[in-house]
Amino acid sequence: MIPFRKMHGLGNDFVVLDGRAAALPVTPARAAAVADRHFGIGCDQFIVMEPPPAGSDVFMRILNPDGSEAGACGNATRCIASLVAEERGADRVVVRTIAGELPVERLPGGLWRADMGPARLGWRDVPLAREVDTLHVPLALGPVSDAAACSMGNPHATFFVDDLDASDVATIGPKLEHDPVFPDRANIGFAQVLAPDHIRVVIWERGAGMTLACGSGACATIVNAVRRGLTARRATVSMPGGDLTMEWREADGHVLMTGPVATAFSGMLDLESYAA
C-alpha cells in the first residue's frame, strides 16, 4: 500500500504520490485507472514526486487521466511546492518538470507564487503543424475562430469570446483539442475579457477535459490577451473554481501565477491492484 494525498488548486484536483525514496510502480494505465472518477480515486492529474535533479528541490511528473504526460501543471506546481516547503521549513523551492525549472515562493495569506517560466510564442514551440502566426491561428469551429496559441511548457490555444456563458466549451473543446493543427493536441481556453485587469476563462484540458481551473491555461490566457492588446500585463484570471493573480513580466517574459493550495484528504492506495 502506498500513501497518497488528494490535493487541489481551485478545484483542479490531484492524486499525489511520493516516489522520492523509492521508485513506484506507476504506469500510464495505472494513472488513468486511479484518475477515473467512478472506478478509481478520481482526479484531473496524477502527480508523482520524484528525486530532484541538480538545482531543484523536487521533480514533478504530471500524468493526465488519459495516461498522457504533460510538461506543465500550474496548480499542481503550487501544491507540490507547498508540500516540499513545509517539509523543509522553507519559503522558496524549485519544482522541476520535464519542461523546466519553476521557482515557487510562499506569500502571506496561504498563497503561493510560481514563476511559470517564459511563454514560448513560436509556431514550433506550441507546437503547431505548420508555419502560421501564433497570434492568429486559422482555426474555427461553430461560433469560435481565430485562436491565439503559445506554450507554457504545454500547448495552449485561447479563443476570445464576447459571452463565455454562451460558449459550449464541453462540446467544442474536445474537437479543437484534436485538431490536426496541434500535433501534440492542445489545451483549449475560452476567454472573455471583463476589464483590462480581469479575464474570465474556461479551459478544456488536453487529456483531462473540463476542469474547474487550469494554472498553465491562466498563464496562456494573460499572455494571449496582452499580445492581442486586450488587457494589461497584470490581471485577475477567474475560472469556475476561483481566481488566480497573473502577471506576464515585461523584463524577462516570465509568467507569474499566484494562488492557493489545499489538501482534501489522504489515504493508502494499492497501486498494483490496478492493471499495468
Residues binding ligand LBFN2T5F (CB under 6 A): 12, 44-45, 62, 64, 70, 72-75, 154, 187, 205-208, 211, 214-217
Letter for the amino acid at 5? R
Cα–Cα distance between 98 and 73 in angstroms, integer?
11
**Active-site annotation holder among 43, 73, 150, 219:** 73
Residue (158 or 163) nearer to ligand LBFN2T5F, CB: 158
Cα–Cα distance between 244 and 11 in angstroms, integer?
12
Q: Any catalytic annotation for residue 73?
A: yes
- Output the CA–CA distances (angstroms, integers) from residue 86 to 83, 164, 264, in the order listed: 5, 38, 17
**Active-site annotation holder among 43, 79, 150, 214:** 214
Which residues are within 8 A (CB) of 92 and not within 5 positions of it... i.e. 6 or more apart? 85, 103, 104, 105, 106
In degrees, to the nearest 5, what angle opens at C-alpha 1 toward C-alphas 78 and 17? Answer: 15
Q: Which residues pair with 257 in a beta bridge?
A: 114, 246
Q: What's 185's DSSP letter?
A: -
Residue (126 or 164) nearer to ligand LBFN2T5F, CB: 126
Task: Show binding-site residues for substrate.
Answer: 12, 45, 64, 74-75, 154, 187, 205-206, 215-216
> Where do runs of H (alpha helix) occur along 110-214?
169-177
Residue (162 or 185) nearer to ligand LBFN2T5F, CB: 185
Q: Any catalytic annotation for residue 150?
A: no
Residue (24 or 70) nearer to ligand LBFN2T5F, CB: 70
87 CB-contact burial (10 Å; exposed 0-12 / middle 13-18 / buried 19+): exposed
The least distance separating ligand LBFN2T5F from the CB of residue 264, rounded to whole angstroms, comes to 16
The least distance separating ligand LBFN2T5F from the CB of residue 110, rounded to whole angstroms, comes to 18
Helix (H) or strand (E) holding 105: strand 100-107
The least distance separating ligand LBFN2T5F from the CB of residue 207, rounded to whole angstroms, comes to 5
Known catalytic residues are: 73, 214
